[in-house]
Amino acid sequence: MNDQRASIAPTRLAQDVELLGPYRDSGLENPPFLIRRGGTVLQVSKLLIVVAAAAHGRSDFDEIAAAASAQLERRLTADEVRYLIETKLAPAGIVTLEGEAVGRPAPEPAADKRVLALRFRRTVVPPESVNDVAGVLSVLFRPPLVAMILAAVVAFDAWLFGVHGVRGALEQVIRQPGLLAFLFVLGWLACAFHEFGHAAACRYSGARPGAVGAGVYLIWPVLYTNVTDAYRLDRTGRLRTDLGGIYFNAVFIAVLAGAYAATGYEPLVAAVVAQHFLILDQLMPWLRFDGYYIVSDLTGVPDILDRVRPALRSLIPGQPQPREIRALRPSARRLLFAYLASTIMFVAISAAVLVVQGPGLFAAGWDSLPTHLEALQRAIGMWDLPMGVVVVFQIGTLVAPIVGIGLWLGFLALRLTNHRSRHACAAVEGAIRTAGLRSG
């Protein structure tokens, strides 16, 4: 019965499956191949993608084996093909076996249990709308416009920090706490614009962006953009997608500069300063912000943080080099160890600062907390919504940094020393699921 099935059972690609080809500019000695399944991108071996490509619904296992053997320059038997299809490709939702419903939904991706994963994700803007808006905004990536906007930002920064100064604007915000609400709203508008920057860069580079949504990273609410389809791009396109959000922060600064030039409204200067801090925050490569994806795409190694622990293990004398390190090209390996060194330095310096400064900051925050709670109670009693929002924001700024930095260091240390939380991308032989979420 099995032999008969091996020779006659046809298969076909499942719905919403697209074979994307090799992962371009890879940092691996044997570059993986990409298969898109709905909103998920799988990295698989050449063997699996060749077998999947030959499964077009009109061939049995013998014919698939013959077609795959010709492309691989090695002989595959029908039984080997049947094994790959039934144990690898079909369970991953890449192909559909004879007798199964063609429209059967693909298996749900495994929950991402990594300690630094984005949690509680919810879609805010659906993919169709994001794609339409990204198509309009992608014009901003034309080289002449990019040069003009960046030149305008550099000129404004040189005047602002070298001539005008920012002290007056910051003092005005301190004297009028209600302006914090204004800056808070501007900040979230900038964050939303940042996410559409990723989407527009993805669209301009030739890929299709997904949804824009909201979630929780560590303890902070964040927005994110699904740009999974950018994995089909070359390194230049992926880096443009990574940097698209930061570039849109620069566009936002240019708009604020124009508004300030027209109105002379000093709090806009404080908003520009806040944008610069947001850009610096996004460029940090040790957590899954934009800087992390920039490093991953420069090395050609998706999710480079997952190779940090094997890199540490490879430094132990007498230990064999882990396969995660052997699989890398020499240039990618050197970049990985440079990244490892920077990660260790970052954790050490941050921990030292937290140990030295943390108790004083915590004590000051704890001492001022009753005053803020009394102010919040008065605002509620007087139905003063703006002041209530300001006080809640002030309480958050007291509590969140200490809790967040503690979690940040704890999770990074856990990532360096413990690998029990298996990569949530494992799905197919040699495959990983690349989420492609850019959060900001």
Measured between alpha carbons, how far is 196 from 209 in angstroms, rounded to an integer?
A: 9
Tell me, yes or no, whether 278 and 308 share the same domain. Answer: no
CATH of the domain at 58: 3.90.930.60
Q: Which domain holds residue 34?
A: 2-97
pLDDT at 435: 45
Q: Is the separation of the CB atoms in 425 and 432 below 8 Å?
A: yes
Is 435 contained in some domain? Answer: no
Are 6 and 64 in contact, with CB atoms under 8 Å apart?
no
Domain boundary among 254, 271, 300: 300
Domain for residue 274, yes or no?
yes
105 in any annotated domain: no
Residues 191 and 244 in one domain: yes
pLDDT of residue 414: 57
**Position 109 in a domain:** no
The pLDDT, as a whole number, for residue 390 is: 65
Position 230 in a domain: yes
Q: CA 392, 398, 400 angle in degrees (round to 5)? A: 90
Is 221:396 a contact under the CB 8 Å cutoff?
A: no
Compute the distance between CA of residue 228 and CA of residue 209 in angstroms, rounded to an integer.
7
* Residues 47, 62 share a domain: yes
* H helix count then E strand count, the chain: 15, 10
DSSP bridge partners of 42: 35, 433
Q: How much is the pLDDT for 192? A: 94
Are 345 and 400 contained in the same domain? yes
Residues in the chain: 440
Q: How many domains does the chain have?
A: 3
DSSP 311-326: HHHHTSTTPPPPHHHH
Task: Evaluate whether residue 415 is within a structural domain.
Answer: yes
Per-residue pLDDT tens, the chain, 440 aa: give them: 444 444 445 678 888 888 888 999 999 888 889 988 877 888 888 999 999 888 877 667 888 888 888 888 788 888 888 888 888 888 888 888 765 544 445 555 555 555 556 767 788 999 999 999 999 999 999 999 999 999 999 999 999 999 999 888 888 877 776 777 788 889 889 999 999 999 999 999 999 999 999 887 766 778 899 998 899 899 999 999 999 999 999 999 999 999 999 999 999 999 999 999 999 989 988 878 899 999 999 999 887 888 888 888 888 888 888 888 988 999 999 999 999 899 888 878 877 877 777 677 666 666 666 776 776 777 777 776 666 666 666 666 656 665 666 665 565 565 555 544 333 232 333 333 344 555 55
Residues 218 and 342 in one domain: no
Task: Tell me: do 259 and 293 sit in the same domain.
Answer: yes
Q: How far is CA 435 from the centre of its chain?
A: 7
Q: 181 lies in a domain?
A: yes
322 and 196 belong to one structural domain:
no
Token pair recorded at residue 212: 């824009």
